[in-house]
């Protein structure tokens, strides 16, 4: 970021001397660079200066107003996330999480779907690893090196052998609601839902206490739409892949 120097209203910065040379040196400081006038800002406009900063986390897409929707995956206690949707959606979230500097460990029954992404994600560094089901060892998460564990183990994922840890999140991907879904949804701190059947929508509405309008919208969601829910908030989000994501994974889809 270029530093901006401000001067009081009604004054200007020092004029550049017509006789100064761009090649003139200063002892111990190297060559003089090009000269620019100082920026002038009236005192009455100082309050308008601001630096917009978004929330810290993973961008899940944009909301109805076009604003970034950010997921805060990492915290001092483990966060359990359930995504009811496609492997495409889980892969985009994993890729974006790795892009924030976190490590990603994928426990999957279909390693062929993840190996290529893991190789491409790090740009030569191993930020994403792929493991067979029940073969994920302790990841050693910390505040400076958080970890996202993605569990892509089908409709009936076995109980994880990985102990809960601070600065570690576990994202369990469910293609559809199975017999273990109610228990996992009850324990989840964050739930993401792509398009589901009317019957599944009714089950989700009961477990997550969804308003009727939101529950009725779930069976008609587009492939790029999701409903994200916490215990207190709900938001529909459009997941827009970047050019790089689309090149690696293709376009949004609900079915794999």
9 and 93 part of one domain: no
The tokens describing 175, both together, are 């293609």
The tokens describing 91, both together, are 């892969």
Return the minimum-mean-pLDDT range out of 20-29, 168-177, 210-219, 232-241: 20-29
44 and 62 part of one domain: no
154 and 198 part of one domain: yes
Q: Which residues contact 237 (CB under 8 A, 6 or more apart)?
A: 60, 61, 62, 63, 69, 225, 226, 227, 228
The tokens describing 219, both together, are 């069976």
Residues 193 and 201: their CA atoms lie apart, in Å, by 10
Give the model confidence (pLDDT) of 150-187 as tens digits: 999 999 999 888 899 999 999 999 999 988 899 999 99
Whether 94 and 128 have beta carbons less than 8 Å apart is answered as yes
pLDDT at 45: 59
Q: Determine if the pTM surpasses 0.85.
A: no
* Domain range enclosing 244: 58-249
Cβ neighbour number for residue 206 with a 10 Å cutoff: 11
Find the CATH number of the domain harbouring 184: 3.40.50.300
CA-based nearest residue to 237, from 253, 225, 254: 225
133 and 8 part of one domain: no
Give the model confidence (pLDDT) of 54-83 as tens digits: 456 899 999 999 999 999 999 999 999 999
* DSSP three-state, residue 227: strand
In a domain, 254, yes or no: no
The tokens describing 78, both together, are 């483990």
In a domain, 256, yes or no: no
* DSSP three-state, residue 112: helix
pLDDT at 31: 46
135 and 228 part of one domain: yes
pLDDT at 48: 55
Torsions phi, psi of 72, nearest 5? -90, 90
In a domain, 53, yes or no: no
Give the model confidence (pLDDT) of 198-210 as tens digits: 999 999 999 999 9
- Strands (DSSP E) contained in 87-199 are 103-108, 128-131, 147-152, 168-174, 190-193
Q: Is residue 135 packed enough to be buried (19+ CB in 10 Å), middle (13-18) or exposed (0-12)?
A: exposed
The tokens describing 81, both together, are 């996330």
Residues 165 and 186: their CA atoms lie apart, in Å, by 19
């Amino acid at each position: 970021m270029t530093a901006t120097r401000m001067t009081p209203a009604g004054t200007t910065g020092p004029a550049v001397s017509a006789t100064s040379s761009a090649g003139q040196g200063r002892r111990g400081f190297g060559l003089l660079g090009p000269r620019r006038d100082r920026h002038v800002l009236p005192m009455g406009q100082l309050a308008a200066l601001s630096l917009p900063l978004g929330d810290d986390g993973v961008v899940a897409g944009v909301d109805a107003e076009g604003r970034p929707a950010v997921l805060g995956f990492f915290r001092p206690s483990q966060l359990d996330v359930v995504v009811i949707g496609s492997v495409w959606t889980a892969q985009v979230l994993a890729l974006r999480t790795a892009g924030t500097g976190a490590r990603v460990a994928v426990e999957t029954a279909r390693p062929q779907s993840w190996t290529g992404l893991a190789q491409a994600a790090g740009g030569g560094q191993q930020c994403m690893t792929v493991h067979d089901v029940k073969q994920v060892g302790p990841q050693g998460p910390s505040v400076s090196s958080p970890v996202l564990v993605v569990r892509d183990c089908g409709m009936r994922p076995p109980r994880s052998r990985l102990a809960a840890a601070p600065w570690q999140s576990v994202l369990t991907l469910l293609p559809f609601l199975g017999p273990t879904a109610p228990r996992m949804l009850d324990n989840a701190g964050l739930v993401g839902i792509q398009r589901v059947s009317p019957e599944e929508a009714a089950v989700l509405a009961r477990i997550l206490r969804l308003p009727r309008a939101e529950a009725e919208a779930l069976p008609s969601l587009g492939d790029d739409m999701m409903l994200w829910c916490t215990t207190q908030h709900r938001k529909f989000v459009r997941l827009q892949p970047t050019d790089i994501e689309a090149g690696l994974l293709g376009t949004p889809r609900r079915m794999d």
